[in-house]
Amino acid sequence: MNADRATVRDVAARAGVSPSTVSRVIKGDYPVAQSTKTRVLRAMRELDYVLNVHARALSGASTKMVAFVLDDVTGPSFAYVAKGVEQQATAEGRLCMVCATNGDPARELAVVEAMREQRADAVILVGGGALDDAYRERMSHFAHALDKAGSRLVLCGRPPLGDDVPTTVVEYDNEGGAFAMTSHLLSQGHRQIALIGADHPGQASTTKLDRVRGFVRAHESFGVAYDPDLIVPAGFGRADGHTAARRLITLGAPFTAVFAATDMVAIGVLAALREAGLRVPEDVSLAGYDDIPFAADLSPGLTTVRIPTEELGRTAVRLALDRRQSQHVVLGTHIVVRGSVGPATPR
Amino acid sequence: MNADRATVRDVAARAGVSPSTVSRVIKGDYPVAQSTKTRVLRAMRELDYVLNVHARALSGASTKMVAFVLDDVTGPSFAYVAKGVEQQATAEGRLCMVCATNGDPARELAVVEAMREQRADAVILVGGGALDDAYRERMSHFAHALDKAGSRLVLCGRPPLGDDVPTTVVEYDNEGGAFAMTSHLLSQGHRQIALIGADHPGQASTTKLDRVRGFVRAHESFGVAYDPDLIVPAGFGRADGHTAARRLITLGAPFTAVFAATDMVAIGVLAALREAGLRVPEDVSLAGYDDIPFAADLSPGLTTVRIPTEELGRTAVRLALDRRQSQHVVLGTHIVVRGSVGPATPR
DNA sequence: TCTAGCGTAGAAACCGATATCTATCGAATG
DNA sequence: CATTCGATAGATATCGGTTTCTACGCTAGA
């Protein structure tokens, strides 16, 4: 009743050769007489033979698998990183595993552990990532373990764990993008720019930190003082932006532009502004970050910072599988100007 | 230099027991003295032992893996199906593999073959799917092969292969959604409704077919004749909608409403209407299909058909892993009314 | 003619965990 | 006191390819 798939032994018997020979025909790296090869191939076809990757992996071969670990499969920009990963993995003859952690560090560690069990060729971690020491230490441990096993831990869009930790790091210039966008807003005459999506006091996220840093540096570079009250902590979702913007409006804060820390936040902000009867960009300018596909389809089109998502994913896989290359890469970001930012108008 | 991970044998040696005992401690289904268990666990920790899933799979255990095959990782609604799959797989203690086919049937077959090699517990195919006989036959073959191997082929949002083919089918009521939306438009007084995103003459897609069918049936049910020229073939992307709508406008077609076959198409149509100076919904009403997350954030909000994406994914995994349940499920769809559809106004 | 060398193929060990079959010890039962 | 049973643990075969190591037959060079 149960599954009895054909094995090399079955194929060998049918073709009248030894299992070794069948294996050699499959791999093709050893001379096999043409006539024998033909017989074996026919037997394989007739028996509908399918290789067992577990048996192969057990006898030493690579698993031809890369693992991709992210917060949330539905995150609009992560999907593009995933695409890059999948593409490059396919191009390099690898299959691709995906795990979502839902932002839970404990689950992330469990997932990485599972990937170790799977003997993945590479484990790619995307986005966020906690900053506390216990977590970093455990992650370093994994990096070393994977390295010792001939595998690789890749940090994609998150900061390095330290110089002595064997990882591959693929980042993008988060701070630079924030700097460029803030400069753009300042050059349009805005002097009261609200930044929505900074850190909450308790928890630190490097993504948020870097974006705030770029925001601050641009102000300094323009010799403009910024209002700390306009740097408001918020999550990275639509609802977060909506809530934060509404509170800002209710409080009567004096901003002429909003720099949302993500496009999703910007969408929430946009809704809040609309509800308050404020026009974009006539009354308030709005900028985002990420350049998600729909940024262009909002009205007005969202001026935002483009991050090279697909390339991030592709690079991560490429570097992980070819260790001869540099193992720390920072990809560039640039601003995309659409309609949501205009000259400052006093209110 | 090369990887030497600890094995059960190493752990056994260090704990002063036999490999069998270590294995029993790991599985926990066989009595082991508490003191022995403690020693083994300590040895495992000290050696940083990690189980080898391939060895385990080879000796008969399930691989605890489900595979998820889709067209394009970045498809806005597929991401949600993926989320459902990932969630349910995790809930059932499974890991999740993802492969993109980029709409290439040949690649899809290659991917399914790879999944057979991986001995996945279930292979879930999402979306589209060719309709020609050679393809269907090959897919049926896979279904039988997987079934014989104790695995399962799941068709998610695509039509069954036939009654004698052992598959699990999870669909949603595609035709019903199109019927409901068309009825909604008709009830708003629209009598010239353009349907953008029908089949191109050559290739048939059941998704498109069903949506057209619902469109037609609604007209019949209302006793309204439809203009075949207003049923225009198009792909399911933004650009497809944009191009098709622009051509329709240029030709001076007399529509008062557009039913876009997907929200992405609707977004493209919206852009084309804007470019032509047409207001939505004052001049032209616009409806979509899928209810992607951004549908609510367009202005006006897009009236569209909601499909239960996450549930689709969750159901697919659940049914595949528990074969006692019914193996053909059709989930419901319903329309979501926002601002993009208004009463018909003659032009 | 003898042997070295090449092309080809089989036998057997191995990868790491698990399952089955035995074996031992002590306690309980008749 | 002998026997059986339960709890525990070891030995060994096994899953399905891969990989030496060995060997055979034939041709080419000494």
| Interface size between A and B, measured as CB pairs under 8 A | 133
Q: Please tell me which residue, B345 or B195, carries the higher pLDDT value.
A: B195
* Bridge partners for B99 per DSSP: B69
Q: How far apart are CA B291 and CA B37, in angstroms?
A: 54
What is the side-by-side strand order in the sheet with A285-287? A231-233, A193-198, A257-260, A285-287
Per-residue confidence (pLDDT) for residue B3, from 0 to 100? 52
Distance from residue A69's CA to nucleotide C19's C1', rounded to whole Å: 35
Q: Which residue is nearest to nucleotide D18 (CA to C1')?
A: A59
Q: Per-residue pLDDT tens for B52-95?
A: 999 999 998 899 999 999 988 888 788 899 999 999 999 999 99
Closest by CA to A102, choosing from A135, A72, A76, A67, is A72
Q: Per-residue pLDDT tens for A31-71?
A: 899 999 999 999 999 999 999 999 999 998 899 999 999 98
Q: Beta carbon of B150 within 7 Å of strand D? A: no
Whether A110 contacts A80, CB under 8 Å: no
Per-residue confidence (pLDDT) for residue B1, from 0 to 100? 38
Query: How high does pLDDT run on average in chain B?
Result: 92
Whether A33 contacts A25, CB under 8 Å: no
Q: Percentage of chain B with pLDDT > 70? A: 97
State which residue of chain B sits closest to A48, comparing Cα positions.
Answer: B145
How far out from the chain centre does Cα B189 lie?
A: 34
Q: Per-residue pLDDT tens for A278-335?
A: 999 999 999 999 999 889 888 899 999 999 999 999 999 999 999 888 899 999 999 9
Confidence of residue A1 (pLDDT cuts 50, 70, 90): very low
Query: How high does pLDDT run on average in chain A?
Result: 92
* Inter-chain touch A50–B116, beta carbons under 8 Å: yes
Whether A328 contacts A166, CB under 8 Å: no
Chain A: nearest CA to B31, how far in angstroms?
Answer: 25
Distance from residue B21's CA to nucleotide D8's C1', rounded to whole Å: 10
Identify the weakest region by mean pLDDT among A82-86, A91-95, A201-205, A224-228.
A201-205
Q: Indicate the pairing of strand A304-306 with strand A334-336.
A: antiparallel
Written as one string, the DSSP assignment of B255-320 is -SEEEESSHHHHHHHHHHHHHTT--TTTT-EEE-SB--GGGGGSSSPPBEEE--HHHHHHHHHHHH
Q: Is B150 helix (H, G, I), strand (E, B) or coil?
A: coil
Q: Which of residues 44-83 of B touch strand C (CB under 7 A)?
A: 49-52, 55-56, 58-61
Q: Is B163 exposed, middle or buried (0-12, 13-18, 19+ CB in 10 A)?
A: exposed
Covered bases, chain C (protein CB within 7 Å):
7-12, 14-20
Distance from residue A38's CA to nucleotide C5's C1', rounded to whole Å: 27
Q: Percentage of chain A with pLDDT > 70? A: 97
Q: How far apart are CA A113 and CA A106, in angstroms?
A: 11
pTM over 0.85: yes
Q: Which residue is nearest to nucleotide D14 (CA to C1')?
A: B59
3-state secondary structure A143-160: HHHHHHCCCCEEEECCCC
Written as one string, the DSSP assignment of A289-317 is SB--GGGGGSSSPPBEEE--HHHHHHHHH
Dihedral of CA atoms A257, B299, A264, A307 in degrees, nearest 10, equals -80
Per-residue confidence (pLDDT) for residue B129, from 0 to 100? 64
Q: Beta carbon of A25 within 7 Å of strand C? A: no
Q: Using CB atoms, which residue from A72, A95, A118 is nearest to B114?
A: A95
* Inter-chain touch A99–B95, beta carbons under 8 Å: yes
- Write down how long chain B is: 347
Identify the weakest region by mean pLDDT among A182-191, A313-322, B295-304.
B295-304
Q: Under 8 Å CB-to-CB from A142, ≥6 apart: which residues? A: A109, A112, A113, A116, A123, A153
* Inter-chain touch B118–A95, beta carbons under 8 Å: yes
* Inter-chain touch B50–A3, beta carbons under 8 Å: no
Q: Beta carbon of A52 within 7 Å of strand D? A: yes
Covered bases, chain D (protein CB within 7 Å):
7-12, 14-20
Q: Per-residue pLDDT tens for A121-144?
A: 999 999 766 668 888 898 999 999
Q: Which residue is nearest to nucleotide D15 (CA to C1')?
A: B59
Per-residue confidence (pLDDT) for residue A128, from 0 to 100? 66
Whether B102 contacts B108, CB under 8 Å: no
Distance from residue B205's CA to nucleotide D13's C1', rounded to whole Å: 53
Whether A127 contacts A158, CB under 8 Å: yes
Contacts of A294 in chain B (CB under 8 A): 267, 294, 297
At how many degrees (to 10) do helices B34-47 and B8-15 cross?
120
B90: tokens are: 């995790």
Residue A96 DSSP one-character state: E
Q: Please tell me which residue, B202 or B136, carries the higher pLDDT value.
A: B136
Distance from residue B58's CA to nucleotide D24's C1', rounded to whole Å: 34
Q: Beta carbon of A47 within 7 Å of strand D? A: no
Q: How far apart are CA B175 and CA B79, in angstroms?
A: 22
Distance from residue B31's CA to nucleotide C29's C1', rounded to whole Å: 24
Q: How far apart are CA B233 and CA B215, in angstroms?
A: 14
Q: Which residue is nearest to nucleotide D20 (CA to C1')?
A: A20
Closest by CA to B259, choosing from B286, B236, B283, is B286
Overall average pLDDT of the B309-320 stretch = 96
Q: How far apart are CA B98 and CA A70, in angstroms?
A: 13
Q: Which of residues 20-39 of A touch strand D (CB under 7 A)?
A: 20, 22-24, 26-27
Q: Per-residue pLDDT tens for A187-200?
A: 999 999 999 999 88
* Inter-chain touch B3–A150, beta carbons under 8 Å: yes
Per-residue confidence (pLDDT) for residue B216, from 0 to 100? 97
Overall average pLDDT of the B96-101 stretch = 92
* Inter-chain touch A82–B98, beta carbons under 8 Å: yes
Nucleotide nearest to A35 (CA to C1'): C8
Overall average pLDDT of the B40-63 stretch = 95
Q: Is the pLDDT of residue A2 over 60?
A: no
Overall average pLDDT of the B169-182 stretch = 96
Chain A: nearest CA to B135, how far in angstroms?
Answer: 17
* Inter-chain touch B270–A297, beta carbons under 8 Å: yes
Instruction: Fill in the amino acid letter for A61.
Output: A
Nucleotide nearest to A5 (CA to C1'): D16
Q: Please tell me which residue, B201 or B82, carries the higher pLDDT value.
A: B82
Whether B252 contacts B194, CB under 8 Å: no
Contacts of B117 in chain A (CB under 8 A): 50-53
Q: Beta carbon of A346 within 7 Å of strand C? A: no
State which residue of chain B sits closest to A107, comparing Cα positions.
Answer: B90
Q: What separation in angstroms does the CA of A213 have from each of A179, B157, B191? A: 8, 46, 56
Contacts of B298 in chain A (CB under 8 A): 297-299
Confidence of residue A346 (pLDDT cuts 50, 70, 90): confident
Contacts of B87 in chain A (CB under 8 A): 100
Overall average pLDDT of the B104-125 stretch = 92
Per-residue confidence (pLDDT) for residue B341, from 0 to 100? 97
Q: B21-43: b or e for each residue (b if 16 or more CB lie within 10 Å)?
A: bbbbbbeeeeebeeebbebbbeb
Q: Indicate the pairing of strand B257-260 with strand B193-198.
A: parallel
Per-residue confidence (pLDDT) for residue B347, from 0 to 100? 61
